């Protein structure tokens, strides 16, 4: 029997992502026949009340679950239970203990979708009640800490009670289809590898823009900011996959060994470099897709004088043989013009243009890997326009995965939950990766703290502060939408 226990079972993440993901796995017969789901939170609810909330969450956020029927929903709710658990009350864990058969034959997954300050007390109590024994695994959500020091403290505490192999640090970007495809693209094809280095690549852009604001999470977000919310985890994970050396095989640790080396090679900024190579911004009132939206400082839960960044752009560098001198431009922001997540590899220009005027002012070759909204890989190249004479135009070899494959799309949370249930750590972050990411981020956060002037503003619905364009323009580069 597999038991899935969700701490923070009544929270936002549970409703929006985790419950729909579990339901999708259930509907598609990806869970074992004796699967049980226990929601756990501080509220005193009966299982019946909780089932109603689970059904509501599925109705509201489970829109993409294919194959759901009233019968399947009833069957899912029949294996759903609730347990009131307050991390500070040891007796609450006795109630939980009574519901879980602890043994090697019965995997139990504890998912901690709570604030990080609850992680340690929960794991302590799980341990004290014998629940970390047997086949138990613990999934922890980001952000893991506020800086390297607090992340280290959480890691140490987790390891006091759990083996590293029982700890699943989730980063849902790693579960996205195209992120895995990037591994396939890089390491299952021969033609890219000779080009994948400083000799042929001009720069790399990794941009995740969102149209949403902070929604109901103003309070949490204001203490977090875009650097801790997105760059420290999602963007640096993408950097590590683009930049890593070929692993010796596809085992979780072989892949993670190479990713951590890439993260360690990130050039650490001095305070002077931070002011030259980073831009941070906060959105003012504006309009997204023609709809007026308020500024960040008037969002619910956000203090009116908040200095928290909702946008970050960075010119990062990797100090190793493959990448020395190749800028990695990273960018993310809330309330931007469009929703998209893209990795662009810009190749160097041709050494000499032989076609004169017919050449036209065109960008050099680039490979664009889109994670969302669509999943695609496009290789932009130049070709002759049909007709007389030679006129070149840009065309794309376009691999649209919605067209090439009709297989069921698995959302990232579903994929990662199933991996954790099956004990596959490949797409989870190892402690040394986490620390390497914090080691790079910490000096930037510190320098920002000492520089209250550096926060720029941008209008909601734009592409961020003008300084973010200048960051690239001064090196003769531009963001994709600026061409």
Residues in binding site? 8-15, 42, 142, 172, 176, 210, 229, 334
Is 77 or 341 the residue whose CB approaches ligand BG6 more closely? 341
The DSSP H or E segment spanning 53 is helix 47-61
Cα distance between residue 136 and residue 8, in whole Å: 18
Closest residue by beta carbon to ligand BG6: 229
Cα distance between residue 104 and residue 90, in whole Å: 24
Is 336 or 341 the residue whose CB approaches ligand BG6 more closely? 341
Cα distance between residue 354 and residue 390, in whole Å: 11
Is 202 or 297 the residue whose CB approaches ligand BG6 more closely? 297
Q: What residues contact 139, with CB distance under 8 A and at least 6 apart?
A: 109, 110, 111, 112, 168, 170, 417, 420
CB of 371 to ligand BG6, least distance (A): 8
CB of 277 to ligand BG6, least distance (A): 23
CB of 223 to ligand BG6, least distance (A): 12
Nearest to 381 by CA among 366, 360, 359: 366
Nearest to 108 by CA among 420, 428, 414: 420
Q: Cα–Cα–Cα angle for 349, 354, 357, nearest 5°?
A: 95
CB of 229 to ligand BG6, least distance (A): 5
Is 100 or 341 the residue whose CB approaches ligand BG6 more closely? 341
Nearest to 178 by CA among 333, 365, 400: 400
Judged by DSSP in three states, 215 sits in helix
Is 117 or 364 the residue whose CB approaches ligand BG6 more closely? 117
Q: Which long-range contacts (CB under 8 A, 24 or more apart) does 445-452 make?
A: 445/147, 445/227, 445/228, 446/271, 447/269, 447/271, 447/274, 447/275, 448/227, 448/274, 448/278, 448/280, 448/309, 450/271, 451/274, 451/275, 452/307
CB of 210 to ligand BG6, least distance (A): 5
Q: How many Cβ atoms are within 10 Å of 71's Cβ, its own excluded? A: 8
Judged by DSSP in three states, 364 sits in coil
Q: Which residues of 168-205 are buried (b: 16+ CB within 10 A; e: fewer)?
A: bbbbbbbbbbbbbbbbeeeeeeeeeeeebeeeebbbbb
Question: Where does this chain bind ligand BG6 (CB under 6 A)?
Answer: 210, 229, 341
Is 221 or 448 the residue whose CB approaches ligand BG6 more closely? 221
Please give the full DSSP string across 219-259, using - where no structure is assigned.
HHHHTTHHIIIIIIIIIHHHHHHHHPPPPSSSSHHHHHHHH
Catalytic pick among 127, 234, 422, 475: 234
Is 126 or 174 the residue whose CB approaches ligand BG6 more closely? 174
CB of 142 to ligand BG6, least distance (A): 6
Is 144 or 341 the residue whose CB approaches ligand BG6 more closely? 341
417 contacts 22 by C-beta, under 8 angstroms: yes
CB of 250 to ligand BG6, least distance (A): 24
Task: List residues bridging with 169 in a β-sheet.
Answer: 140, 429
Distance (Å) of CA 308 to CA 296, 363, 463: 9, 36, 18
Q: How many Cβ atoms are within 10 Å of 83's Cβ, its own excluded? A: 22
Cα distance between residue 398 and residue 127, in whole Å: 51
* Known catalytic residue at 234: yes
Residues belonging to the binding site for NADP(+) are 8-15, 42, 142
- Supply the residues annotated as catalytic: 234
């Amino acid at each position: 029997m597999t038991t899935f226990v969700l701490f923070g079972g009544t929270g936002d993440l549970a409703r929006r992502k985790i419950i729909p993901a579990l339901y999708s796995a259930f509907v598609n017969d990806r869970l074992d026949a004796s699967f049980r789901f226990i929601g756990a939170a501080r509220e005193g609810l009966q299982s019946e009340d909780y089932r109603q909330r689970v059904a509501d969450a599925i109705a509201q956020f489970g829109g993409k679950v294919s194959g759901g029927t009233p019968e399947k929903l009833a069957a899912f709710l029949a294996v759903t239970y609730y347990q009131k658990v307050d991390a500070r009350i040891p007796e609450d864990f006795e109630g939980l203990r009574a519901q879980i058969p602890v043994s090697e034959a019965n995997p139990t997954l504890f998912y901690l979708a709570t604030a990080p300050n609850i992680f340690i007390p929960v794991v302590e109590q799980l341990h004290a009640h014998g629940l970390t024994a047997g086949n138990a695994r613990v999934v922890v959500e980001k952000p893991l800490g506020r800086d390297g020091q607090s992340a280290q403290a959480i890691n140490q505490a987790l390891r006091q009670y759990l083996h590293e192999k029982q700890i699943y640090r989730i980063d849902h970007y790693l579960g996205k289809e195209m992120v895995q495809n990037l591994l396939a693209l890089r390491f299952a094809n021969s033609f890219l590898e000779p080009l994948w280095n400083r000799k042929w690549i001009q720069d790399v852009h990794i941009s995740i823009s969102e149209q949403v604001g902070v929604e109901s999470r103003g309070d949490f977000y204001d203490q977090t900011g875009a650097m801790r919310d997105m760059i420290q985890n999602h963007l640096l994970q993408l950097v590590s996959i683009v930049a890593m050396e070929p692993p010796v095989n596809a085992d979780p640790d072989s892949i993670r060994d190479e990713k951590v080396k890439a993260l360690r090679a990130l050039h650490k900024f001095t305070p002077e470099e931070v002011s030259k190579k980073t831009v941070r911004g906060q959105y003012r009132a504006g309009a997204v897709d023609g709809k007026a939206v308020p500024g960040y400082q008037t969002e619910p839960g956000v203090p009116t004088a908040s200095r928290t960044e909702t946008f970050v752009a960075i010119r990062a560098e990797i100090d190793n043989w493959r990448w020395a001198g190749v800028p990695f431009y990273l960018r993310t922001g809330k309330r931007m013009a469009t929703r998209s997540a893209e990795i662009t590899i810009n190749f160097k220009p041709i050494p000499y243009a032989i076609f004169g005027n017919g050449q036209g002012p065109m960008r050099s070759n680039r490979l664009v890997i889109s994670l969302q909204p669509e999943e695609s890989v496009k290789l932009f190249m130049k070709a002759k326009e049909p007709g007389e004479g030679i006129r070149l135009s840009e065309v794309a070899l376009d691999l649209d995965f919605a067209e090439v494959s009709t297989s069921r799309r698995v959302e990232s949370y579903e994929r990662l939950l199933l991996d954790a249930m099956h004990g596959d750590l490949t797409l989870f972050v190892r402690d040394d990766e986490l620390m390497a990411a914090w080691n790079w981020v910490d000096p930037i956060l510190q320098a920002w703290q000492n520089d209250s002037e550096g926060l720029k503003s941008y209008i909601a619905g734009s592409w961020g502060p003008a300084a973010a364009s200048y960051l690239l323009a001064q090196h003769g580069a531009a963001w994709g939408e600026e061409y």
